[in-house]
Amino acid sequence: MTAARIGATLLLVLAVVASVGWVLWRVDLAAAAEALAAAGPLALGAALVASAASIVLRTFRLQAMLPTRLGWADAFVVMCIGSLATSFVPLRMGELARPYVLADRHGVTLGESLGTIVVERFLDVCALLALLALTGWAAEGVAVVDVGGMDLLAAGLALSRVVAVGGLTVLVLLVVLGERGVAVVERTLGLVSTGLAERVAGQVRGLVEVARTLARSPLRLAIAVLTTAATWAAAVGMTWCVVQAFPGLPAGLDLVLLFWSACITSMTLLPSPGFVGTFDAAGLAALLVLGVASGPAGAAAVTLHVVMLLPVVVLGLGATLKVGVGLRSLVRER
C-alpha cells in the first residue's frame, strides 16, 4: 500500500469516526427510538422496492453501454457484485470488482469494462449536477448544509461542474480522434514508462470503443441517458417513501430533495466503507437545517441508509455466491 493510499485511508477513518461521534452527540436517541417504532412498514417496503429498482435500471444501462453483448441475467449478476464491492470497499476501490468478473466470466476486456465505468460515472455526475440545481431551486433560501465546516452542497456542485465539463470534453475528443488519441496518450506516457504506456493505452482504447459505441447508436445512447435519469428518480422516490414512513415529518419537495442531495453528495466526496457515518451525518444535517427535531431526523437518516444498502447487500451476496467468488479475491485480483 502506497503512502498516499495510507494517508487517504487514515483521513477517511478520521472522517468516519468524527461523523459517527457527531451523529451520536447530536441525536436524541430516545426520541429516535420512538420515531423508528412508529415508522410505517408499507412506506418502508415501497422504499426498498425503489432501492432495488435502481440496481435493475443500472443493469439495463450496463447492457446498453457494453460493446460486448451480454445477456440481462448475466449483466444483473455482474451489477449486483459490483454494487456490493463499490459500497463496502474503501475509496471506491471496489469498482475494480466488476471488470474482474466481466473478464473472468464473460471475456470482456479490462479496457472495455473500465471504459464503461468511466462513462457511467460521467452520466452520474451529470445527474448529480442536475439534482443539485433542482434542489437549489426547490429549497431556495435554506441555510447552508454544514458538515464538518464544509458547505456540502456547494462543494458537490463545484466538483460536479468541473467533472461534467472535463468529462464531456475528454469523451468528445476520444470519439473524434479515436486511435489517434490513443497513440498520443501512448507516446506521452512512453516517455516515462513503456509498460505503463501500454497498459494505459489499452484502457483508453476500451474507453474509446465504449464512447464510439454510444455515438454510433442513438438507441443505446438514449437507453443509457434515460436509465440514468430513471435511476436517480428512483433514489428520490426511495427518499420520499422513507420520509413518508415517519409520522410528523414534512414531506415537501424541498425536504426530500435536500435530504437525498446531502446524502448522495457525501457518498461522492467521502466514500467510506458502507458510507458509514458520513452518509448519516449529511442526512441529519440536512434535516436539522429544515427544522426537523434531532430524534426523528436521526432515525430517518439511518433508515434511509439501511434502505439504500439492504438490497445491495442481499442481491450482491446472492450474486457472489452464484458465481462462486469472494469479495476479497475480486478486489485483490486487480
Q: In the predicted model, what is the mean pLDDT of residues 306-311? A: 95
Contact at 8 Å (CB) between 92 and 271?
A: yes
- Can you read off the three cell numbers belonging to residue 19? 461523523
Give the tens place of pLDDT for each residue, 227-242: 999 999 999 999 999 9
Does the pLDDT of residue 95 top 90, yes or no? no
Does the pLDDT of residue 246 top 90, yes or no? yes
State the pTM of this model: 0.88
Give the tens place of pLDDT for each residue, 181-238: 888 888 887 877 888 878 888 888 888 888 888 989 999 999 999 999 999 999 999 9
Binned at pLDDT 50, 70 and 90, residue 334 comes out as very low
Task: Return the axis-axis angle of helices 253-269 and 294-323, rounded to nearest 10°.
Answer: 50
Contact residues for 89 (Cβ-Cβ < 8 A; gap 6+): 97, 273, 327, 331
Give the tens place of pLDDT for each residue, 30-56: 888 999 999 999 999 999 999 999 999
Binned at pLDDT 50, 70 and 90, residue 264 comes out as very high
Contact residues for 130 (Cβ-Cβ < 8 A; gap 6+): 232
Instruction: Write down the residue that cell numbers 463545484 correspond to.
Output: 158
Contact at 8 Å (CB) between 175 and 212?
A: yes
In the prediction, which pLDDT does 187 show? Answer: 85
Burial call 97-120: b when 16+ CB within 10 Å, e when fewer: bbbbbbbeebebbbbbbbbbbbbb
Beta bridge mates, 146: 151
Mean residue pLDDT of the chain comes to: 86
At 71, give phi and psi (nearest 5°).
-65, 155
- What single DSSP character describes residue 95? G
- Can you read off the three cell numbers belonging to residue 135? 434542489
Give the tens place of pLDDT for each residue, 318-330: 988 887 755 455 5
Of the two residues 273 and 298, the one the predictor is more confident about is 298
Instruction: Write down the residue that cell numbers 432501492 correspond to.
Output: 51
Beta bridge mates, 150: 147
The full set of domain ranges for the chain reads 28-333
